[in-house]
């Protein structure tokens, strides 16, 4: 039985698709432009028809001149077959014109399909639950999207510009040979084609695992490189540059060995393909030479058959390479589409209404939750936060405090019970409306590698520069920004590393002020700061929470003494609640925590005075 608001993980488990299933997924994106596709195919057939007309005209020219040369006739400009020559030039030009028209018509189809699928995958990744994003490896996912997008262009290009034209050409050539010449020509050509295709498919299938191994090792190496570069500061702290280089080197060494194995198998494939083509061309020319000797064929026929073989086998030679690339493109596309198979754990119900906020009263009603069903994090938790009130949650590490904010944001759905806002179960309303009503100042503020103005405006991207500056003033960061050489256009670096902890927190506060939410969450918002920065920022947090429903997850008890109510959690359960004074009078867990932190602070103050 499914739980309320969740889906069975098995329903979205990634699976391996066949090549035809992958093509089937891609087809609707291309068929949106069916008229362009059909026009492009018409141009393709016309180009191939013109291309095959060239050897036919060449045969007619040779057959025209052959008797004249045999009779030693005086050849003058008047004897030139002007119509044939003009037709020859026109066919040459037509081949190019139709080919360019085909590419022009299909360019929009291909690029539109790439854009549509890439955006769909990107949006879907953002719609996945927190569980997926905690487990994912960013480098591998981005590489899958990059390769998949590129593979769509490659697949369409190879299919429309190489495979389909070659198939059309094969059909026309074999058909012409069958109708106009003895059966041997079409038989030799047909047997050679079947042998070539069977050999290519079999060997390519055999060597596909080498390419897949290369891809997997390439992704792993990329993941390690990205992970190391993102955490370069930690690498520097511990002097582990050599260690990271060796780890990356091992990954690249494994990729190198797989690449060499792939190249060996490629050599075998290319040699076999060339042998089949060589035997076929030799056999056809031998039959044509016999035909000329016994007068059943003209020199023009010999030239025609030779030209047909050249036109046929040159693209066919590349067909082996193209087939391998198509197989690789299909594997890359399937890998990108497999991201869409990931279980979208938290989903809106069909037609879910927007959250109607009237006072922003929050209620946790007998809530239970587990990240892993073998270990429950929250047990039968019930409390409420009246509209406009501030409620703080405290407890030791692992008590389940930070999980409350994730559940309220609906990054996860509760295992049991319900969370309500103004009497509305948050699983019954749209996620977008829920999250637009909540603002958070987290412990670890992560900023985009963009400007300060961009990061503040992220709270409401449509905000004007004046509104951004007003939010910065309210967060008491405006004056600091003006001291920077580029002001609000100063870039903050990867994850905001160019700013101090206090500066990043003020940007986060300004961002939340700009969002202007009805509900606020402070998730240990000052625990990573020193005492001076904490006291300064605490004033902004208090001002921000005034007249708003506020949930504070705190480690330092001194920051929540003003709260209307304090909840004390232990092992996922509510063990005490009350005001700061009431909890001290109970002399329970909160009082012990207060005494420990007070004693620790006194020791720090004493040590600081001694050092001074």
Give per-residue pLDDT as tens, 390-429.
999 988 877 778 888 889 988 888 889 999 999 999 999 9
CB of 132 closer than 8 Å to CB of 7: no
Mean pLDDT score, 63-74: 62
What is the pLDDT at residue 461? 87
pLDDT band for 6, please (50, 70, 90 cuts): very low
Q: What percent of the chain has pLDDT over 90?
A: 8
CB of 521 closer than 8 Å to CB of 410: no
Q: What are phi and psi of 305, to 5 degrees?
A: -65, -40
Name, of 235-249, 372-386, 416-430, 493-507, the range with top average pLDDT. Answer: 416-430
CB of 367 closer than 8 Å to CB of 384: no
Which of these, 177, 168, 162, 163, lies nearest to 46 by C-alpha position?
A: 168
Give the pLDDT confidence of 112-154 residue by residue, as tens digits: 777 777 777 777 776 665 666 555 555 556 667 777 777 777 7
Mean pLDDT score, 165-172: 79
What's the maximum distance between 2 C-alpha atoms anywhere in the chain? 127
| C-beta neighbour count of 518 within 10 angstroms | 19
Length of the chain, in residues? 612
CA angle 237, 600, 377 (to 5 degrees): 75
* DSSP structure string for 544-575: HHTTSEEEEE-S-GGGSTT-SEEEEEETTEEE
For the beta sheet containing 424-425, the strands, ordered from the edge strand earlier in sequence to the opposite edge, are: 378-385, 362-369, 416-421, 424-425
Domains in the chain and their CATH numbers? 9-341 (1.20.1560.10), 351-437+517-578 (3.40.50.300), 444-516 (3.40.50.300)
What is the pLDDT at residue 131? 64
Rounded Cα gap, residues 235 and 241, in angstroms: 6
Q: How far is CA 544 from the centre of its chain?
A: 37
What is the pLDDT at residue 129? 59
pLDDT band for 533, please (50, 70, 90 cuts): low
Predicted confidence (pLDDT) at residue 4 exceeds the cutoff of 50:
no
Mean pLDDT score, 23-31: 70
Q: Minimum mean pLDDT among 139-143, 155-159, 575-579, 592-596: which range? A: 139-143
Mean pLDDT score, 296-302: 81
| C-beta neighbour count of 349 within 10 angstroms | 12
Distances (CA, A) of 26 to 31, 109, 116, 155, 384: 9, 12, 11, 10, 49
Q: Minimum mean pLDDT among 62-76, 163-177, 350-364, 452-466: which range? A: 62-76
Predicted confidence (pLDDT) at residue 464 exceeds the cutoff of 80:
yes
Torsion sign over Cα 90, 96, 99, 100: negative
Predicted confidence (pLDDT) at residue 3 exceeds the cutoff of 70:
no
What are the residues whose beta carbons fall under 8 Å from the beta carbon of 385, sequence distance 6 or more? 361, 362, 363, 391, 549, 550, 551
């Amino acid at each position: 039985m499914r739980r309320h608001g969740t889906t069975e993980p098995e329903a979205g488990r990634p699976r391996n698709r066949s090549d035809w299933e992958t093509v089937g997924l891609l087809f609707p994106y291309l068929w949106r432009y069916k008229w362009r596709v059909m026009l492009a195919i018409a141009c393709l057939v016309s180009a191939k028809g013109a291309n095959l007309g060239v050897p036919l005209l060449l045969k007619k020219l040779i057959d025209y001149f052959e008797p004249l040369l045999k009779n030693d006739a005086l050849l003058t400009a008047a004897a030139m077959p002007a119509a044939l020559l003009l037709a020859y030039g026109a066919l040459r030009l037509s081949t190019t014109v139709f080919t360019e028209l085909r590419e022009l018509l299909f360019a929009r189809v291909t690029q539109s399909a790439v854009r549509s699928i890439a955006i769909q995958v990107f949006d879907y990744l953002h719609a996945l639950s927190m569980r997926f994003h905690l487990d994912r490896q960013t480098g591998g996912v981005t590489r899958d999207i990059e390769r998949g997008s590129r593979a769509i262009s490659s697949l369409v290009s190879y299919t429309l510009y190489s495979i389909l034209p070659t198939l059309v050409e094969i059909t026309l050539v074999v058909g012409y040979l069958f109708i106009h010449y003895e059966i041997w020509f079409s038989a030799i050509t047909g047997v050679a084609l079947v042998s070539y295709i069977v050999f290519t498919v079999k060997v390519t299938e055999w060597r596909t695992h080498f390419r897949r191994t290369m891809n997997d090792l390439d992704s792993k190496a990329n993941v390690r490189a990205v992970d190391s570069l993102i955490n370069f500061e930690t690498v520097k702290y511990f002097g582990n540059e050599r260690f990271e280089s060796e780890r990356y080197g091992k990954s690249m060494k494994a990729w190198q060995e797989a690449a060499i194995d792939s190249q060996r198998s490629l050599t075998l494939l290319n040699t076999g393909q060339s042998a089949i083509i060589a035997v076929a061309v030799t056999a056809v020319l031998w039959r044509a030479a016999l035909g000329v000797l016994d007068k059943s064929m003209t020199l023009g026929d010999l030239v025609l058959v030779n030209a047909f073989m050249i036109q046929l086998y040159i693209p066919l030679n590349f067909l082996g390479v193209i087939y391998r690339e198509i197989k690789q493109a299909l594997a890359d596309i399937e890998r990108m589409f497999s991201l869409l198979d990931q279980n979208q754990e938290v989903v809106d119900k069909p037609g879910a209404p927007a959250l109607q906020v009237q006072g922003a009263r929050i209620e946790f009603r007998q809530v239970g939750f587990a990240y892993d069903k073998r270990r429950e994090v929250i047990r039968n938790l019930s409390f409420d936060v009246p509209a406009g009130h501030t409620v703080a949650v405290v407890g030791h590490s692992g008590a389940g405090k930070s999980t409350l904010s994730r559940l309220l944001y609906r990054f996860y759905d509760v295992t049991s019970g319900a969370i309500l806002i103004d009497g509305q179960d948050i699983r019954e309303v749209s996620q977008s409306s829920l999250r637009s009503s909540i603002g958070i100042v987290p412990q670890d503020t992560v900023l985009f590698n963009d400007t300060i103005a961009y990061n503040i405006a992220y709270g409401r991207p449509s905000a004007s520069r004046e509104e951004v500056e007003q939010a910065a003033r309210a967060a008491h960061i405006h004056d600091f920004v003006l001291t920077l050489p580029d002001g609000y256009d100063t870039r903050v670096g990867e994850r905001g590393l160019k700013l101090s902890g206090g500066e990043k927190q003020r940007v986060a506060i300004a961002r939340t002020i700009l969002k202007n939410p009805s509900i606020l969450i402070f998730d240990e918002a000052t625990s990573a700061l020193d005492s001076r920065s904490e006291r300064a920022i605490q004033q902004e947090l208090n001002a921000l929470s005034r007249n708003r429903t506020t949930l504070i997850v705190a480690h330092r008890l001194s920051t929540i003494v003003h709260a209307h109510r304090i909840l004390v959690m232990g092992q996922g359960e509510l063990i005490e609640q009350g005001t700061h004074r009431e909890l001290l009078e109970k002399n329970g867990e909160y009082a012990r925590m207060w005494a420990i932190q007070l004693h620790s602070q006194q020791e720090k103050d004493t040590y600081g005075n001694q050092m001074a």
